Amino acid sequence: MPDAATSLHAHLLRTPEEEHVAYLQARLRSGIEISAGDVLPEPTNYDVLVAGRPERKHIEASPSLRALIIPFAGLPAETRELMLHFPTVSVHNLHHNALATAEMAITLLLAAAKAIIPSDRALRGHDWRPRYGPNPTVLLSGKTALILGHGAVGSRVGTLCRGLGMRVLATRRSAREAADGFVHPPGDLQALLPQADVLIVTLPLTEQTEGLIDRHELALLAPGAILVNVGRGPVVDEAALFAALHEGSLRAAGLDVWYRYPDDVASRSDTAPSSYPFEELDNVVLSPHRAGAGRSEEIERTRMAALAAVLNAAADGEPLPNRVDLRAGY
């Protein structure tokens, strides 16, 4: 990377709103040049490309390119495949939405534990019977939450769970043994599941994590457990999850990530998120993968602030944070 005295050029493949560009530039070191848009600048000499799904031409265009910044968490499959051909270009994520995603995980957990959706639906029809019938809600204080993935999101989820009075256990790929009594290596999963009243998934989707939670793992959970997924849908086997919820062996679930997504703008209003009818189950809270993806003013400002921090580090010759391991897939 250039030293602090050298101009750094970063190109954003997607053009942000003008106010967000201004917010970004106000936080950048002097000497950092910003360009944006599908049309590449002339000359094409950018040092950093900011794009989630670049094409080969965007990587090859600039001989100065040293880093690709994916402006969200995660590594799209097509980006991983492309960047494996460019080993001299480091790939980095932005984790600006980690707190928003963690808050959504807790929102889904509370909504599932307190049976908010069926009660809301009933009262909208002026039906008060849920108040006078058996109470299906769960007291979370004193229960154990097992968080799969103790990274930027998972660690924040753990903090929020402790705030609810819960005991927290977690797994992390880099953990070789339990640290501080609660962070465990992935190999401990089978022993941890029976202790979990709540299972919260914050893992990325990789060859190692796909189908990690299957029928066997769901059966190991404590009786009446709740599952929350804000990582990636296929980390939890689709058929096994539906069956466990339909049969009642799993008390409830809060799901922000899915198995099917719209292919285009036209299909956004009519695409089932799964091949199974989760929408027919009262013990599921459904959310359309919006935990950290909303384009609210707050989210965009935190994105720009996070991007500025990475670009400033690059301009100062410092190591860039949140480097992606392309071989591992995250």
SS3 annotation, 95-124: CCCHHHHHHHHHHHHHHHHCCHHHHHHHHH
In a domain, 239, yes or no: yes
My answer on whether 33 and 126 are in the same domain is no
Check whether residue 86 and residue 174 sit in a common domain: no
Judge if 74 and 149 occupy the same domain: no
Q: 159 and 147 in contact (C-beta within 8 Å)?
A: no
Nearest to 49 by CA among 77, 4, 83: 83
Of 247, 265, 286, the position where a domain reaches its end is 286
Name, in order, each residue with C-beta under 8 angstroms of 195's C-beta and a sequence gap of 6 or more: 144, 146, 169, 222
In a domain, 174, yes or no: yes
pLDDT computed for residue 3 by the predictor: 44
Contact, 200 vs 110, CB < 8 A? no
| Residue 248 and residue 187 in one domain | yes
* Domain identity same for 111 and 247: yes
Same structural domain, 23 and 140: no
Does a structural domain hold residue 208?
yes
Would residue 106 count as lying in a domain?
Answer: yes
Share of the chain above pLDDT 70, in %: 95
pLDDT at residue number 4 = 45
- 65 and 167 assigned to the same domain: no
Token couple for 100? 């928003």
Q: Is the pLDDT of residue 94 over 70?
A: yes
Determine the structural domain holding residue 156 and report its residue range.
98-286
Residue 1 falls inside a structural domain? no
Same domain as 149, residue 124: yes
Q: Is residue 262 domain-shared with residue 303, that is, in the same domain?
A: no
Residues 176 and 276 in one domain: yes
In this predicted structure, the answer to whether residue 1 has a pLDDT above a threshold of 60 is: no
Alpha helices in the chain (DSSP H): 18-25, 56-60, 77-83, 98-113, 116-124, 129-132, 152-163, 189-192, 215-220, 238-247, 297-315
Q: How far is CA 52 from CA 25, 72, 114, in A?
A: 20, 7, 37
- The whole-number pLDDT of residue 294 equals 61
Percent of the chain topping pLDDT 90: 86
Provide the domain count of the chain. 2
Are residue 155 and residue 282 in the same domain, yes or no? yes
Residue 80 lies in a domain: yes
Under the banding of pLDDT at 50, 70 and 90, the label for residue 311 is very high
Answer whether residue 178 shows pLDDT above 80: no
The residue among 145, 241, 161 whose CA lies nearest residue 197 is 145
> What SS3 class is residue 319?
coil
Q: Does a structural domain hold residue 329?
A: no
269 and 221 both lie in a single domain: yes
Q: Nearest 10 degrees: CA dihedral of 146, 149, 151, 152? A: -80
Give the predicted TM-score (pTM) of the model: 0.89
Q: Which residues of 144-169 are buried (b: 16+ CB within 10 A; e: fewer)?
A: bbbbbbbbbbbbbbbebbeebebbbb
- The CATH number assigned to the domain holding 33 equals 3.40.50.720
The answer to whether position 54 is within a domain reads yes
CB under 8 Å to 127, separation ≥6 — which residues? none
266-273: average pLDDT? 96
